[in-house]
């Protein structure tokens, strides 16, 4: 038995193949085939799976597709994917299985990244774990009793949309005061633009080309000791600390993992996460929880492939 | 087989007996035996269990003790109980089993109330459920995949101590902006005292005796159309809505249950819970979740007894 993970993002699709010992046989990336409609997209994905089954001479392979969107994983239906042509109510499981003949699971991509971290980084050594994926948005995943926790409509783990500050900053979801409204990269950039009036001349001062503010630049400026950017990471850590603290008192996980591109800035924000956590009055779940940083960019597709193997 | 539930509170201990069909054979209440120290407390509890085993002529009974405090339910240790003489690190399981000879579980009381609601009110018809216990404090319990979810140190479900408003009102736990700092009865009373300068003359105006403000009085004043108390319930509902919404996006339960004395005021606060929930941008877990009100005062002890039976 081999398994195939397909991690479908708005730009690229990652592909991983595992053998039944969870050894990585293949790990590649292609542009997501979005330009010719949904049927073409399904045809392209099934052809990848068929060619892998031929390459490894396996008649039966187990497939899991991770998708950036709202997924009904019980039925394998993509409810809505703003970043995939805005597709709505696509029965990916049925369509993929019909065309390919292989069994296929369809899951949310943040859940699959969480599963990948659980299997490959934490090595299933704990029972309860939470993951924060820190990127443009703030997503997440929850492991309870050693299993992926999806909730009743497979939409559990929307960590970024818990309110931490009623009446606070506007979030991309339309609500105010969500964790993401402080810890999404768009929120970080919004804050830099508020505090630095003329970003072009500010960047020039530090020897950078003028251009758009990115999380990388906020990181680099902090690295050079820039007070404004250090303060922005400080506030980021404090707010992320509220999110992590809330998860600790609610879910009491052994481990919370910070993943996604922004987690690379951990040296700037982690001291303030810890400060914030120290303010919580309920000490046991806070003090007993470890916080880990994950920086494996392929963890999402590895999660898909291992999830396919676990549920073959 | 019969099971015995003991729900130990700071004032009273409730006792329930179930047969193996979950039929209630007995449901009584005694003052909690706290006045003669811990050994006497254990002796009294074991004598109750022994007398029940004799009464029903069962040599083997299954016991679960629910305790208001921080409990390590894996080991059956009461870590800390501010309302039970401030006891710390008491191995109730070991002590009870040694003296009585019966197997005994020790659990947090809010978790047991949640289990009671799950078994007797929801009749295990859903897989994922959250409970908010609305009283002096705000507690809770979480059911995932049909099981009580305790987390890594049995301290999951501290719903009242998630931050909903950073830098907000002071909470009894020492932190600021917790849900409980708005929805605990102490917070309600604090808010009335802020908005009504002279409560004695205010109460007199409505024909009440002068005296301390209680949640019951805030309810009664709202019933008489008092604007200030109606507004207080409105704010209560809005904040509770943030708590319920956060649970929806994180845990995506089929059902959220509001229990505890304050839930009786639901007609005043529920419209504002719903208004608050409508502001969340992540719609699926909000729209698919039902909210129920539970008003069974014995649900905690029934939860203990049924939990003992489920884990016999």
Handedness of CA A4, A90, A38, A101 (dihedral sign): positive
Q: Which of A44-53, A300-309, B80-89, B276-285 has the lowest mean pLDDT?
A: B80-89
- In the prediction, which pLDDT does B205 show? 86
When the pLDDT of each residue in chain A is averaged and rounded to a whole number, the result is 95
pTM comes to 0.95
Is 90 exceeded by the pLDDT of residue A273?
Answer: yes
- In the prediction, which pLDDT does A278 show? 98
Considering only CA atoms, which of B148, B173, B159 is closest in space to residue B80? B173
CA atoms within 13 A on the CB side of A194: 9
Q: Do A173 and B280 touch (CB under 8 A)?
A: yes
Distance from CA of B256 to the nearest CA of A (A): 12
Residue A225: CB partners within 8 Å, gap ≥ 6?
none
Q: Which residues pair with B259 in a beta bridge?
A: B133
- Give chain B's radius of gyration (CA, Å): 20
Average pLDDT over residues A277-292: 96
B28 φ, ψ to 5°?
A: -130, 180
Among A246, A276, A289, the strongest candidate for a mutation testing the B interface, having the largest count of B CBs within 10 A, is A246
- In the prediction, which pLDDT does B38 show? 96
- Other C-beta atoms within 10 Å of B117: how many? 25
Evaluate whether A141 touches A113 at the Cβ level (below 8 Å): yes
Of A153, A239, A284, the CB nearest to B153: A284
Residue range B131-167, pLDDT digits in tens: 999 998 999 999 999 999 999 999 999 999 999 999 9
- Chain A residue with the nearest C-alpha to that of B162: A246
CA A250 to chain centre: 21
Residue range A32-72, pLDDT digits in tens: 999 999 999 999 999 999 999 999 999 999 999 999 889 99
Q: Report the share of chain A in percent with pLDDT over 90.
A: 89
Return left, alpha or beta for B252; rule: phi > 0 is left, psi -120 to 50 is alpha, else beta. Answer: left
Residue range A170-187, pLDDT digits in tens: 999 999 999 999 999 999
pLDDT band at A207 (very low <50, low <70, confident <90, very high): confident
Q: Do B145 and A147 touch (CB under 8 A)?
A: yes
- Chain A residue with the nearest C-alpha to that of B139: A250
Q: Report the share of chain A in percent with pLDDT over 70.
A: 100
Q: How far apart are CA B274 and CA A219, in angstroms?
A: 41
Q: How far apart are CA A236 and CA A225, in angstroms?
A: 16
Evaluate whether B93 touches B105 at the Cβ level (below 8 Å): yes
- In the prediction, which pLDDT does A250 show? 98
Q: How far apart are CA B297 and CA B14, in angstroms?
A: 10
Of A161, A250, A284, the CB nearest to B281: A161
Query: Interior CA angle at A221 toward A220 and A227, to 5°?
Result: 145
Q: Are strands B103-108 and B2-8 parallel, antiparallel or unpaired?
A: unpaired
For each of the domains in chain A, give its residue range(s) and CATH number, in order of start: 2-117+298-310 (3.30.420.40), 126-293 (3.30.420.40)
Among B163, B174, B284, B290, the strongest candidate for a mutation testing the A interface, having the largest count of A CBs within 10 A, is B163
Is 90 exceeded by the pLDDT of residue A211?
Answer: no
CB-based burial label for A293 (10 Å; 0-12, 13-18, 19+): middle
Which residues of A, range 145-164, sit inside 8 Å of B by Cβ?
A: 145, 147, 149-159, 161-164
- In the prediction, which pLDDT does A298 show? 95
Residue range A82-115, pLDDT digits in tens: 889 999 999 999 999 999 999 999 999 999 999 9
- In the prediction, which pLDDT does B208 show? 86
Partner A contacted by B10 (CB < 8 A):
no
Residue range B249-301, pLDDT digits in tens: 999 999 999 999 999 999 999 999 999 999 999 999 999 999 999 989 999 99
Q: How far apart are the first and last CA of chain B?
A: 9
Furthest CA-CA distance within chain A: 61
Residue range A118-170, pLDDT digits in tens: 999 999 999 999 999 999 899 999 999 999 999 999 999 999 999 999 999 99
Q: Is residue A157 classed as helix, strand or coil in its secondary structure?
A: coil
- How far apart, in Å, are the Cα atoms of B190 and each of A40, B90, B137, B184? 62, 34, 13, 10
Q: Is residue A142 classed as helix, strand or coil in its secondary structure?
A: strand
Average pLDDT over residues B87-106: 96
Q: Do A155 and B70 touch (CB under 8 A)?
A: no
Is 90 exceeded by the pLDDT of residue B96?
Answer: yes
Residue B102: CB partners within 8 Å, gap ≥ 6?
B46, B49, B53, B60, B61, B62, B63, B96
Residue B103: CB partners within 8 Å, gap ≥ 6?
B62, B63, B97, B312
Residue range B202-245, pLDDT digits in tens: 888 888 888 889 999 999 999 999 999 999 999 999 999 999 99
- Chain B residues close to A159, C-beta within 8 Å: 249-250
Residue range A71-90, pLDDT digits in tens: 999 999 999 988 899 999 99
């Amino acid at each position: 038995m081999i398994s195939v993970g397909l991690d479908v993002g708005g730009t690229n699709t990652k592909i991983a193949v595992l053998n039944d010992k969870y050894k990585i046989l293949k790990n590649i990336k292609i542009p997501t085939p979005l330009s010719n409609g949904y049927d073409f997209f399904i045809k392209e994905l099934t052809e990848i799976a068929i060619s892998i089954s031929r390459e490894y001479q396996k008649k039966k392979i187990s497939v899991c597709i991770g998708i950036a969107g709202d997924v009904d994983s019980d039925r394998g239906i993509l409810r809505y994917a703003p970043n995939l042509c805005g597709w709505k109510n696509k029965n990916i499981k049925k369509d993929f299985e019909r065309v390919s003949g292989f069994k296929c699971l369809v899951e949310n991509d943040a859940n699959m990244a969480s599963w990948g971290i659980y299997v490959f980084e934490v090595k299933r050594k704990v029972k309860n774990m939470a993951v924060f994926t820190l990127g443009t948005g703030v997503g997440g995943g929850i492991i309870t009793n050693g299993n992926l926790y999806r909730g009743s409509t497979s939409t559990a783990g929307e960590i970024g949309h818990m309110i931490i500050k009623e009446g606070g900053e506007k979030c991309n979801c339309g609500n105010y005061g969500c964790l993401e409204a402080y810890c999404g990269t768009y929120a970080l950039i919004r804050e830099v633009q508020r505090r630095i009036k003329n970003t072009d001349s500010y960047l020039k001062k530090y020897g950078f080309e003028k251009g758009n503010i990115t999380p990388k630049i906020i990181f680099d400026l902090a690295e050079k000791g820039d007070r404004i950017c250090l303060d922005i990471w400080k506030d980021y850590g404090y707010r992320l600390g509220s999110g992590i603290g809330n998860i600790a008192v609610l879910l009491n996980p052994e481990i919370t993992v910070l993943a996604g591109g922004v987690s690379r800035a951990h040296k700037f924000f982690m001291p303030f996460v810890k400060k914030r956590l120290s303010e919580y009055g309920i000490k046991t779940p806070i003090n007993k929880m470890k916080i880990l940083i994950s920086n494996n960019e392929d963890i999402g597709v590895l999660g898909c492939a291992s999830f396919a193997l676990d549920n073959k």
